[in-house]
A and B are shown apart, each in its own frame.
Chain A
Amino acid sequence: MTVTQQKDGEIVETVTLTIDGIETTVPKGTLVIRAAEALGIAIPRFCDHPLLDPAGACRQCLVEVEGQRKPMTSCTTTCTDGMVVKTQLTSPVARKAQEGIMEFLLINHPLDCPICDKGGECPLQNQAMSNGRSDSRFVEEKRKYPTPLAISTQVLLDRERCVLCQRCTRFSEEIAGDPFIDLMERGAAEQIGVFSDTPYLEGDHAATNTSGDPFNSYYSGNTIQICPVGALTGSDYRFHSRPFDLVSTPSINEHDAGGDAIRVDHRRGSVMRRLSGEDSAVNEEWISDKTRFAFRYANGSDRLVYPRVRDEDGTLRETSWSEALLVAAEGLAAARDNGGVGVLTGGRVTVEDAYAYAKFARVALATNDVDFRVRPHSAEETAFLADYAAGVSPNNGGVTYTDVEQAPAVLLVGLEAEEEAPSLFLRLRKGNRKHGLRLFSVQPFASPGVTKANGTLLPVVPGGEAELLTALAGDAIGPSAEAEQARSAVRTDGAIILVGERLAAVPGGLSAAALLADTTGARLAWVPRRAGDRGAVDAGCLPTLLPGARPVSDLSGRVELASYWGVDSLPSAPGRDTAEMLVAAATGQLAGLVVGGVDPGDLPDPAAAEQAMEAVGFLVSLELRDGWVPQHANVVLPVAPVVEKAGSFLNWEGRLRIFDTVLSTGAMTDARVLNSIADEMGIALGTGDPRRIRAELAGLPAHEVRPTPPSYPAAELPKPDAGQAVLASWHHLLDLGSLQDNAEFLAGTARPAVVRLSAATAAEIGAQDGAQVTVSTERGAITLPLRISAMPDRVVWLPTNSAGSTVRRTLGTDAGAVVSIRTDGGARQAGDGAGHGTGDGAGHSTADGAGHGARHAQSTEEDQ
C-alpha cells in the first residue's frame, strides 16, 4: 500500500492494481468497476450506480480476478494492492460469464423493444448487443404479468421487463427515504411491487398515503430515469416519442431555488419530457417530480400571445407591439410624474430580467419602489437580505450543497426542506446517512422531511422561532433536551443554519437567526422557495438595495452605479416594499404599477392586493398567461416562459445557473420588453440581450459596504383561547401552483391536504382523528380532515395552497395569526371537502387553471 500526497494537501491512501494489463493507482476503497471506468474500460452493468450503494444484484459485471476461483462482480469488489483483473476484453472466462448472465436476464425479458419507451436508450438493449450472445437458446414460454401496473399516477411498472437490479428500491430507500416500492415474493416469482395495503407504513408515511396510492414520493420520477430496462416508465411520456426524435438541451430548474441541472428533451417545438442533468456540485443526478413533470404550464390556451391595451371604454383589445409599447411608455411616464410608479417583479424572474426590472425602476421610473417579494415579507427581511444574502456565492464563502452534506449539524428555521427545497432535502438526508449530519428543525411538528432525514424536531408555536433562536444563542441550558442538543450542535465547527423565506413573517426571527450565527460561529444561509428570489436580491429588486448589493443609502455606491449606467443620478430615497406599494397604490399615492409574474393569491391578503391593483391609475402587466392581473391591466405585454428564453438563475447558494433557449419561438424576455418600453420613453436601458446584461452585471464595480445586520425585537406571542389556534402553514411541493398546471399525472401524487392539531387541542374542540375540522377567520373558512400530530397545543397547521386549502385566498391571513377552529362532523361537509380534493388533485386544468377555479369555488362556497 502506498500513500500519496494529493494536490489539495489531503493525504489519500492508494492501491495499485492491474486491469487488462494496464497498471493503475486508485484511492483505497475504490470499486474495480470505477477503476476500470477511469481507464476507459466499460464493464457492462445494470444494478451499479455511482450514487447508490453497491448491491451486486444483476451479476452482469463479472470479471476474472487472478487467484479467485470464480469470476467476481466488479461493482462490489474493492481494489486491493497487486490485484490483477481481467475484464471481458482480455479474459474469455469473463466474457463467457457475462454472456451467460445476459442470457439469464433475457430469459424472462420480453422482446417488446418496439413498443417500450426505453427502446433506443436502453442499457439492456445496448449491452445485450455489445456483451450478449448473438442468439438465444431459450425456447420456453416467458413469464407474464399484467402490464402495466400503475404504481402511481405518474409511474408505471412492467414487471416482465424487470431484471431485478434493485436500482429503484435502493433509490427509494437510500436517497429519497420513501419506502414506496420493494422486492416481493421469492425465487422465480420475485418481483418489484408496492405495498397496496401499506401495512409497514406507519406514522407520517401513512399520513401521506391515505389516497390508497403509496408511491407518492416527491422523487419517484428518478426511478424512471435510472431504471436500466424500461420496467419503470412515466405516464406522462408514455409512447410520446423515441430517443432519436428528441433534441436534448441542458437547462435549469425553474420550480424552486435549488438550481438543479436538467435536460429538456423536445420534439418539433414542444417539450416531451425533462430529465435530471448531472451536476455533482448541485443536484447530483436527482430532481424532484415537480421539476421533472411540471413543464406544460405555458402550453395552455390561456397563454398570452399578443399585447393588449385597454380602450377608453374599458375593454381590453389585442393590438400590435408598437402600439402597446407606446401606450405603456406614455402611461408610465405620465404616472411617474404624477406620484410615481412601483414595480412588482414576482419571484420567478431570471437574474437578467430582475436586473432589467431593477434598472428600469431606477433609470426610467426614477424610483426605488421595486420589490420581488409576493409573499409575506417584512422590513426586517429587507435588511437581512441586504446583509446575509446579497452578493454571497460559493466563490466568496457562501454555504454550498457540499458544505451542507458535510456539516456536522444543520438547523432549519422556517424551512421545510422536502416541500420547499427538494434537492436540498436530498443532500440533508445524504449527509445524515453518509457523514452523520444531525438535522434540527424548528417547526410545529415533525413533517416527513424531518423524519426521513433523522431530524430532531424543536417544536415551536408559529411566531416563537425568534425566542427559541435567541435561547439557543444564549448561555443558558436549552429550554428542552432537544434544544440543548441543538444548542451544542450549532456550536460545532462547520455547523450551518438554513433559514427559509417563511421566517420573514416572524417578527425578530431573522434577527435572532443572525444573532445565533454571530454568537455561535455557525454559517447562515437563506433558502428561498422560488427560483428567482435569490437572483432578484443580487440584481437589486429590493427597495433598499441596488444591483450588486449596494445599499440605496450609500452615496458612493449610488454615484458608482450612476456613472456605470451613464445616468446623472439615481433616486436616493429608500423605496417601498411590496406591502407598502400596494397600500400606496390603494390610497392613490402611487399612480402606476408595473407588475411582472404576480398572482395576487400569493400575497398575504389577496383581496387587498386586488383592490390596490384595481385602484391604481395605470397598471402594466408583463405576463406569460392570462390571469387576474392581465385582466385588470391597462397594458398587457406577453413575455416568454423559461423554456423559450435564455437567462440564468441564482440558486440558494448564490451559484449562477446559466441556461440557453430550449425552444426558439421569438417570445420576448421581460428584460427585452422593458428595454423596448424604455426606448419609447427615450431612455437607453440596454437590456435587450441576456448576454449583454450578463456582461453588464459581471462588470459592475465591486462594492464592499455591508449594511448592518438587522436587530428587530421578537413580538409577543398570541394567546389563543379555547376554540382558537395559532395558524402554521407552508406550501406542499405539489399544490395548486400555477407552474404545475396542465400536469395532470403529477397532480395525482400530491399529498392530501389535512388539518393538523395536537391531541389535546383536538380533544378540546371535540374532534376525532379524521373528522372534518373547520379553520376560519372572519374572511372565510377551510374544512379538511383532521390528522392528529405531535405538536404544540393550540396550533393548527394547513397547507398554504393545496386543493381545498388556499389559506391566503380563503382566510385572508397567514401563518402566525390566530384563527378559529371547530369541528362539524357533518357528512355533507366531508363529501364537499373530498370533492374539492379529488377534483383539483386530478388537476384537469382548463384554460384559466385549476387553481383559480378551485380558489373561487372554495371561497364563494365557504363564504355563504
Chain B
Amino acid sequence: MFEPIKGFGVSLANMFKPHVTEKYPEKMRPTAPRYHGRHILNRHPDGLEKCVGCELCAWACPADAIYVEGADNTDEERYSPGERYAGTYQINYLRCIFCGLCIEACPTRSLTMSNEYELANDSRQDLIFTKEQLLAPLLPGMEQPPHPLRLGDDEQDYYVGAMQNPGASAGAEYSPQQESARETAAKQGNGGAA
C-alpha cells in the first residue's frame, strides 16, 4: 500500500531537481562550436566562389549526398579564380549524415559546415540544397559573380594570400527560408533564437 506514495515521491523529488527540457523552438541554445550543421560554400573576399567544382567532396561522401558538375570559367564569365568552377552544386540533406568528410576533402576550404541544424522539411525536393542556397551571402565589399579577378592577376594571388584574408562564411548559418521565418517570428514578438 506504500507503492502509490512512493510513486508520488518520485514526482515530488523531480520537481526540485534542475530540469533539462529545452524551450525549443522558442529558445534556441547555441550548439557546441564545432557542431556539424548545414554546409556553406564560402567566398573569396571579392565575392568569387572558392569552389572549383573538383568533386572531391562528392568523392569523399560516404552517403553519396553531394552532386557536382564542373564548368569552364571564361574571361567574360568568371565565377571562381582559375579555370574551373562548380556549374552545379547540390547537397541532398535526406542523405547527408553530417560526418564532415567532405570538409576534410575540400582542397580550397570552400566547403565548411555551419552550426545550423534546422533542416526538417515536408518536401524531398526542398531538402536538396542548390548552389544558390549553399553559397555564403555577400558581405560588404563583395561583388556578385560573375566578375573578373579583383584581388590579383591569377588564381595564385587568391590562394597564396588566403591565410591573411580568408574571405567569409559569416551570415550563412541560416537558410533564406529560415531567415524569413525568423524575421516573421521576431515581428510577432515571440522570441526566436538570435
Binding site for B on A (CB under 8 A): 114-115, 119-120, 147-148, 238-242, 244-245
Contact = CB atoms under 8 A, between A and B. Distances in A.
Given A115-B84, A148-B83, A240 B54 contact: no
Given A148-B83, A239-B84, A115 B52 contact: yes
Contact of A240 (B52, B56, B69): B69
B71 interface: yes
A147 B52 CA distance: 16
24 contacts: A114-B52, A114-B54, A114-B56, A114-B107, A115-B52, A115-B53, A115-B70, A115-B83, A115-B84, A119-B54, A120-B59, A147-B83, A239-B70, A239-B72, A239-B83, A239-B84, A240-B69, A241-B69, A241-B70, A242-B55, A242-B58, A244-B55, A244-B58, A244-B59
B146 interface: no
B100 interface: no
A147 B54 CA distance: 18
B58 A115 contact: no
Contacts of A147: 83
Interface residues of B, number: 17
A271 to B, nearest CB: 14
Contacts of A244: 55, 58-59
A239 B82 CA distance: 13
A424 B107 CA distance: 45
Interface string B75-98: 000000011100100000000000
Contacts of B83: 115, 147-148, 239
A259 B70 CA distance: 33
A57 B52 CA distance: 33
Complex A-B, nearest 8 residue pairs according to Cβ-Cβ distance, in ascending order = A239-B70, A114-B54, A115-B84, A114-B107, A242-B55, A239-B84, A115-B52, A244-B59
B121 to A, nearest CB: 23
A245 B54 contact: no
Contacts of A115: 52-54, 70, 82-84
B84 A245 contact: no
Contacts of B84: 115, 239
A148 to B, nearest CB: 7
Contacts of A148: 83
A147 B83 CA distance: 9
Contacts of B59: 120, 242, 244
A432 to B, nearest CB: 40
Contacts of A245: 55, 58
Contacts of B55: 241-242, 244-245
Nearest to B73: A239
B183 to A, nearest CB: 37
A270 to B, nearest CB: 11
Contacts of B72: 238-239
Given A114-B54, A148-B83, 18 more contacts: A114-B108, A115-B52, A115-B53, A115-B70, A115-B82, A119-B54, A147-B83, A238-B72, A239-B53, A239-B70, A239-B71, A239-B72, A239-B83, A239-B87, A240-B69, A241-B55, A241-B69, A244-B55
Nearest to A235: B72
Nearest to B54: A114
A26 to B, nearest CB: 40
B162 to A, nearest CB: 15
Interface in B85-129: 87, 107-108
A635 B58 CA distance: 46
A120 B54 CA distance: 11
Contacts of B53: 115, 239
B146 to A, nearest CB: 16
A244 B55 CA distance: 10
Contacts of B70: 115, 239-241
A114 B83 CA distance: 11
Contacts of B71: 239
A337 B71 CA distance: 58
A108 to B, nearest CB: 15
Contacts of A240: 69-70
Nearest to A272: B69
A242 B59 CA distance: 9
Nearest to B70: A239
B190 to A, nearest CB: 44
Interface string B133-162: 000000000000000000000000000000
Interface in B47-76: 52-56, 58-59, 69-72
Interface string B10-40: 0000000000000000000000000000000
> Which of A147, A148, A245 has the most chain B CB atoms closer than 10 A to its own CB?
A245
A145 to B, nearest CB: 12
A382 B54 CA distance: 56
A239 B87 CA distance: 9
Nearest to A119: B54
Nearest to B53: A239
B110 to A, nearest CB: 10
Nearest to B67: A268
A850 B71 CA distance: 25
Contacts of A238: 72
A242 B72 CA distance: 15
A654 B150 CA distance: 62
A502 to B, nearest CB: 41
Contacts of B108: 114
A660 B59 CA distance: 28
Contacts of B54: 114-115, 119
A147 B58 CA distance: 26
Nearest to B105: A114
A352 B54 CA distance: 42
A115 B55 CA distance: 9
A120 B52 CA distance: 16
A623 to B, nearest CB: 31
> Which of A114, A120, A147 has the most chain B CB atoms closer than 10 A to its own CB?
A114
Nearest to A239: B70
Nearest to B84: A115
A184 B151 CA distance: 35
A144 to B, nearest CB: 9
A242 B61 CA distance: 14
Contacts of A119: 54
A241 B69 CA distance: 6
A239 B84 CA distance: 7
A354 to B, nearest CB: 38
A822 B52 CA distance: 56
Contacts of A242: 55, 58-59
A241 B71 CA distance: 9
A863 to B, nearest CB: 40
A114 B57 CA distance: 11
Contacts of A241: 55, 69-70
Contacts of A120: 59
A235 to B, nearest CB: 9
A132 B79 CA distance: 35
A369 to B, nearest CB: 49
Nearest to B85: A239
A591 B72 CA distance: 54
A119 B53 CA distance: 13
Nearest to B86: A239
Nearest to B56: A114
A239 B74 CA distance: 13
A245 B108 CA distance: 21
Nearest to B71: A239
A120 B60 CA distance: 12
B71 to A, nearest CB: 6
Interface string B159-189: 0000000000000000000000000000000
Contacts of B58: 242, 244-245
A156 to B, nearest CB: 10
Nearest to A141: B156
A239 B52 CA distance: 10
A725 B131 CA distance: 63
A239 B54 CA distance: 8
A25 B56 CA distance: 45
Contacts of B87: 239
